[in-house]
Amino acid sequence: MLQERDSTIAANPAARSDWTREQIAALFDLPFTELVFRAAEVHRAHHRAGEIQLCTLLSIKTGGCPEDCGYCSQSVKADSGIEATKLMEVQAVLQSAAQAKDNGSKRFCMGAAWRNPKERDMPAVIAMVKGVREMGLETCMTLGMLTPGQAKQLADAGLDYYNHNIDTSPERYEEVITTRTFADRLNTLDNVRAAGINVCSGGIVGMGETRADRVGFVHALATMEQHPESVPVNALVPVKGTVLGNMLADTPLAKIDDIEFVRTVAVARITMPLSMVRLSAGRESMSEATQSLCFMAGANSIFTGDKLLTAANAGDDADSAMFARLGLKPMEGEEPLRAMKAVGGCSGGCAA
Ligand code: SF4
């Protein structure tokens, strides 16, 4: 049964922001079964265990991105063979959203390979937000850096969530990306928060980082004054042609150890108990057993469909079969957090 439904993340004492790195490292160091057990307890206290939210992510503008994220095949610096496209037409995006809804998705995420949206792009993305919301789907966008004014425009359009990942630990950041700083990331997250949009922010593990970097990554999120409402945890799938793909593919580091990945999910769940923890990229190469451990450890959302931006994903049929085998149900109705807000009122002025 859900508890503490009458308070937001900001007000809920369970969502503490004073985690130390030592405390987070100590969680990572727990015996695996003890860690997963503790995470499962936290999960059951705040979420409907056994229900997983289905989300769909559509690339509304692919490739040609001027940023140099070492993991990304859409960067102009990557030799990945991905061709740059223009921003999709609004109507085509709405058709994809309708299809996603028919397939059971509750949330529709739209991603554009931009450093930041230009002012001329804003009318189209605003029309996409409004159109997808009118279908009764939650909306999320990831468009790169936002000015305060752009965040306000998206908030006024009714955008539910804005995704802007911190990617990795602050210390490791410049080894992965050189065209922006960790502080730039936090600045956009501040703009999103100030506009009253829910924050979706997580990162990628398996980029050749150390355990200490994973501790630093979770610490950066869990010590935010208000935890992100949504925390995607991605496992890198190294793509040849990208900086990290060229470095890691065909090496023992090409895939994060499954147990270490589950540990990261569990520590995210314990330290950010009210957030949605989303299993994102990398699921396609994960066994059902590993995914099951992630669900036990508190992951409560997946991305469905054959594609995740430009990467292969597990696909709706595979997921339906897995849900049937595991006895999981797609999450119906509102996310627990959104239900909490409906009862307690949204202190962040969000559009939900
Ligand atoms: S991750 Fe996003 S910002 Fe980075 S290169 Fe890819 S599309 Fe651009």
Sorting pLDDT into bands at 50, 70 and 90, what band is 7?
very low
Which of 152, 165, 167 has the alpha carbon at shortest distance from 197? 152
Residue 2 reports pLDDT greater than 60? no
Share of the chain above pLDDT 90, in %: 72
Task: Identify the active-site residue in 38, 48, 55, 65.
Answer: 65
What DSSP character marks residue 333?
Answer: S
- Give the architecture (CATH level 2) of 15-342: Alpha-Beta Barrel (3.20)
pLDDT digits (tens, 9 = 90+) for 223-249: 999 999 999 999 998 888 998 998 887
Q: Is the pTM of this model over 0.75?
A: yes
In the chain, what are the domain boundaries?
Answer: 15-342
69 has catalytic annotation: yes
Pocket around ligand 1 at a 6 A CB cut-off: 65, 67, 69, 72, 74-75, 113, 144
- Judged by average pLDDT, the poorest of 122-136, 289-303, 332-346 is 332-346
Mutate to test the pocket of ligand 1, among 73, 74, 77 (most ligand atoms within 8 A of CB): 74
Give, in order, the Cα–Cα distances in Å from 4 to each of 59, 178, 187, 200. 36, 42, 31, 22
Distance 86 CA to ligand 1 centre (A): 15
Give, in order, the Cα–Cα distances in Å from 49 to each of 5, 52, 53, 228, 284. 15, 8, 11, 20, 23
Helical residues (DSSP H) of the chain, grouped into ranges: 21-29, 32-46, 90-102, 122-134, 148-157, 173-176, 182-195, 211-222, 243-248, 258-271, 288-296, 316-326, 336-344
Mutate to test the pocket of ligand 1, among 59, 61, 62, 69 (most ligand atoms within 8 A of CB): 69
Integer Cα distance of 163 and 56 in angstroms: 13
Distance 45 CA to ligand 1 centre (A): 36
The pLDDT mean for the chain works out to: 88
Mean pLDDT for the stretch of residues 251-276: 93
Integer Cα distance of 182 and 192 in angstroms: 16
294 has catalytic annotation: no
Residue 316 reports pLDDT greater than 80? no
Which of 216, 208, 134 has the alpha carbon at shortest distance from 175? 208
pLDDT digits (tens, 9 = 90+) for 71-111: 999 999 999 888 899 999 999 999 999 999 998 888 899 99
| Atom from ligand 1 closest to the CA of residue 114 | 8
Distance 121 CA to ligand 1 centre (A): 17
pLDDT digits (tens, 9 = 90+) for 105-117: 888 999 999 999 9
Q: Whose CA is nearest to atom 5 of ligand 1?
A: 75
Integer Cα distance of 193 and 344 in angstroms: 18
Give, in order, the Cα–Cα distances in Å from 55 to each of 58, 120, 125. 10, 28, 19
200 has catalytic annotation: yes
Integer Cα distance of 102 and 99 in angstroms: 5
Note whether 201 and 165 are within 8 A (CB): yes
109 has catalytic annotation: yes
